[in-house]
Amino acid sequence: MKSKKIHWSPAHILGIILLITAFAAFFIHPLLAVAFLFCYIVLCVAACFFPQTNFLGPVISRGHTGKKDVALTFDDGPSEFTTSKILDLLDRYSVKATFFVSGFNAVRFPGLIEEIIKRGHSIGNHSYTHDPFVMMKRYRVLYREVYEAQSVLQKMGIDALAFRPPVGIINPKLPSILTQLGLLCITFSCRARDAGNFRVKNLAARILKKVKGDDILLLHDKPSRRSEDDLVLLQEIEKVLTGMRDKGLRIVTLSELIGKEIMKVQRPT
């Protein structure tokens, strides 16, 4: 059997170096050894909230084309009303996006999953329940969240190749899980801080103020927290589409932006 190549993350390498250093420092002063180990723990915790550092493992947070291209992604769906309306809007502007869906919602709305694919968009794994605290839980729980969402999509004929962690936070356990399941970890580089469509007013202005070439843009296709904001959300997303065009930015597929496949659709036998 061919052995798998071990990939060492910066966290692994630095951990070994600091462990050796702490061992040597112990003979100088025990507290110095503790200080080295404490600094390492702080670095690992901070890296969970800043996955783009790639400290804990490989994470794709933006493209590297050098062009004025941007990829559009939607998280947390599909949802019966919002996703359908967004798909219609994207069709009007001939824009393709990637939808990072939860397994739970995919089971609830299989027709929307089929519609997303039918209209030429891509789908990624966004965990099964979208628990915002899942990265704080034990290995088995995290594995199950990723695996079960993957299984749901595979039963629908979709082989997702990309995983986006809920709320964009990772932990040291995640890279090995994604390696086992053959998934890329993809986050984002531009967002409106809409708190999951809770703050939809002026969403477009917040994005257009900072969006630039090679950004992976994060939006949400879950319903607004207040029903009266549903129409506002769609208007804001349309402003994003027209605003990026006015800024000379071209919306491309996530796969094109990062140069990697996002999913495969299994053909029926």
In a domain, 56, yes or no: no
In a domain, 216, yes or no: yes
Co-location of 83 and 137 in the same domain? yes
Length of the chain: 269
Co-location of 33 and 119 in the same domain? no
Give the model confidence (pLDDT) of 144-168 as tens digits: 999 999 999 999 999 999 999 998 9
Co-location of 90 and 15 in the same domain? no
Return the DSSP state at 192.
-
Residue 224, pLDDT above cutoff 70: yes
Tell me, what's the pLDDT at 6?
Answer: 52
Looking up residue 190, the CATH number of its domain turns out to be 3.20.20.370
What is the β-pairing status of strands 158-160 and 162-163?
unpaired
**160: closest CA among 130, 187, 129, 183?**
183
Count of domains forming the chain: 2
Domain that holds residue 245: 69-265
Co-location of 164 and 214 in the same domain? yes
Co-location of 127 and 259 in the same domain? yes
Co-location of 96 and 139 in the same domain? yes
Question: Does 51 sit behind a cis peptide bond, omega within 30 degrees of 0 on the bond before it?
Answer: no
Residue 77, pLDDT above cutoff 70: yes
93 and 100 in contact (C-beta within 8 Å)?
A: no
256 and 250 in contact (C-beta within 8 Å)?
A: no
Co-location of 158 and 33 in the same domain? no
Other CB atoms within a 10 A radius of the CB of residue 230 amount to 16
Least confident window among 19-28, 93-102, 105-114, 140-149: 19-28
Co-location of 82 and 167 in the same domain? yes
**262: closest CA among 182, 190, 192, 188?**
182
Tell me, what's the pLDDT at 7?
Answer: 64
Instruction: State percent of the chain over pLDDT 70.
Output: 96
In a domain, 60, yes or no: no
